[in-house]
Every structure is written in structure tokens, then in C-alpha cells.
Amino acid sequence: MGLPLKLRFWWLYPNPISRNNFSILKWGLTQTFGKIKDAFFIVQTSEIEDRRKVYRKYDELVADGKADSPMVALVEEMVATDITEALWAEGIRVFPPVIFKAWRPPSVLVISKRKKIKNISPSLLLQPGLTAEQREEIERFVEKQNPSLRAYVPDLGGIAVFPPIVHLYPAQLLIEVAAHEWGHTHLVFFPLGFYYLWGKGEVASINEIACSILGREIIRRVRAKYGWAEERATPAEATRPDYGKTIHGIRQEMDRLLALGKVEEAEEFLRESADSLRQTWEIRKLNQAYFAFHGKYGGGAGGDDPTARQLRELRQKAGSLKNFLKLIRGIWSRKRFEEILAENGIKPST
């Protein structure tokens, strides 16, 4: 089932998608020169203690909502240097160069079938900072065009446009997400990234989870460089129920109901689950498109998808991050992924 014509050609007439469209071209034209200028003219210290002080000051300003442009630009260059050095230490060729902009990333429109959790839409990017009402308007518009679809408009933590955008996170998370986004820009020169870029959904979770592994390993190296402790949950967070396990259970029941063809019962179950979740977490909407989006990152929303486990095992088998990237970057299909798993003695199924 393809998208209705009004969704395929959304830019041809006024509608809530076209009104809120995020232009990748405009972003690139307005930001690229500034990033090149920063790379040449921003002077960053090489002394570890001085760099620690800059990061501490940045974190304080971010926490207070007062991080100004000069400070952010300096930290962007420091982060790029730290990631580059960590990649070099892993023996990884740093191409393309690590650059990014700490900014508010766009939102994205995700469209799934009602009867099966599957993202069937291209990556339609929307302006950052949309209100709940604007998101609901876009979602209603999609579902009105075809009632057999469900839509969801989430925010992104980062996106590998040019230059890549990463949310204005505290330093450690900023480094991890910036490394993740560099992974996407690197892989786009190989089949895994190229096919993901052009909408081949079967490699989406492989790409995203692989970049998450990369980001986590790079931040571990940078933590060691600065002597940073890993950020821990607060006591209040530690005593809350585990969101990943909770959403995993919901996804499993959702899959069971959909497999039985009980679409209305599944959606009623999701509405009840969303009401329950809101007692502990902030959650705006829970539907098939929610799981289609969040499931590709390998968390609880992925249900019983074995991809995250398989990639973790493949990383261990590879021995090094460099070898891991070599193994996965040539993947162009789920079949090829399973062949690589078999070649490395990893079970392709759960």
C-alpha cells in the first residue's frame, strides 16, 4: 500500500505539512559557511584542564538556558576535535570530517499502517518547536487522507543533514549524539547508509543501532580522556519503573493483537496504555507510528526485533570498532545482514 496522492505530493498545495516543512537546502545554505568559518577561526585550548573548565561552564549555561552563541560555537569545535581524536584512536578514517551544529533539530512525520507496525513514509522533516496542536493537525491530516494509516510527529535528538544538527544537550550527551550523527554521514558513502538515505526501511534499524553503538563507544573514550564519571540516574529516576521494559510489554501485546487482526482492540489497548503511562512519564501519543519510529533504535519499542542483540554480538565478534564498521557498512538488505551474522556464528533469529 502506497501513500495517497495528497501525501505523496504534499508540497503542491497548502496543507499542514507544507506549512511546517523544514527545508534541508535552506539549512545547508544558511549554516555551512558559518561552520567552515568556525573551523578556521575558533581557537580552542589543548590543555585538558582548560577544556574541562569550558565544558563545565557550558553545562552550567545549558542547565540555566543561557548558553550563548560564542560559547556554543566553541564547544561545537571542541566536541568535533574530541570525537575526531577518539575515532583516530580506534584506527577509523575520519571521513567526512566531524562537523555539526548544536541547535534545535527538526521534527519528523512518521506514517505507519494500522494493521502492521511499519514505517511507510519518507523522512518528511518539519519545523522544530511545533506545538501539540500543530502536531495533532498534521497527524489528523494524514489519517483523513487514508483512515488505514496512523501518523506521529516526534522530535529528533539529532539528524545527519548538512551540517548535521544535534540538540543542545549537556556535554556528554552532546558528544555521544554528535558521534552518532557522524556515523550516519560516514555510512552514507557505503551501501548501509546509502540505502537508508533513500528510504529502504529494512536497513533502518541496522543503521540506527550501529550508529548508537558507535556513539556509546566514542563517549566512553572521551570520558576516559577527561576523567568524567558516567552520568547516572537521579535517585528519583532510579526508583521509577523502567520505561524500556514497560513499553516493550506494550509492544508485545500490540503485535499479538495485530497478528490476530484485532486492530480496533489493539488501538483501544494503546489508548489505555497511554493513559497509564502519563501517570509517570510525559507522553503525548501512542500509536502504530510511534512504534515504527522508536522501534528502529533498538529499545523496548522494538518489541521482539533481535537486531539490537545481533549487532551487539557482531560488535563483540569484530574485536574493534573499526572492524565492526567494516562488517556492517556493506549491508544493503536484511538478507545480507543475516549472511554476515551467519558468517560470524551469530543466530539470525531470536
CA 329 to chain CA centroid, nearest Å: 18
> What length does the chain have?
350
- Identify the pLDDT of residue 288: 97
Using CA atoms, how far residue 310 sits from 11, 165, 296, in Å, is 39, 29, 14
Q: Measured between alpha carbons, how far is 72 from 85 in angstroms, rounded to an integer? A: 20
Provide the pLDDT confidence category of residue 236 given band limits of 50, 70 and 90: low
Q: How many CA atoms lie within 13 A of 83 on its CB side?
A: 29
79 three-state secondary structure: helix
Check: CB of residue 267 under 8 Å from CB of residue 321: no
* Segment 32-46, tens digit of pLDDT: 999 999 989 999 999
Q: Measured between alpha carbons, how far is 63 from 200 in angstroms, rounded to an integer? A: 38
* Segment 55-87, tens digit of pLDDT: 999 999 999 999 888 999 999 999 999 999 999
* Segment 247-263, tens digit of pLDDT: 999 999 999 999 999 99
Task: Using the predicted structure, report yes or no on whether residue 234 has a pLDDT greater than 70.
Answer: no
Task: Using the predicted structure, report yes or no on whether residue 122 has a pLDDT greater than 90.
Answer: no
| pTM listed for this prediction | 0.94
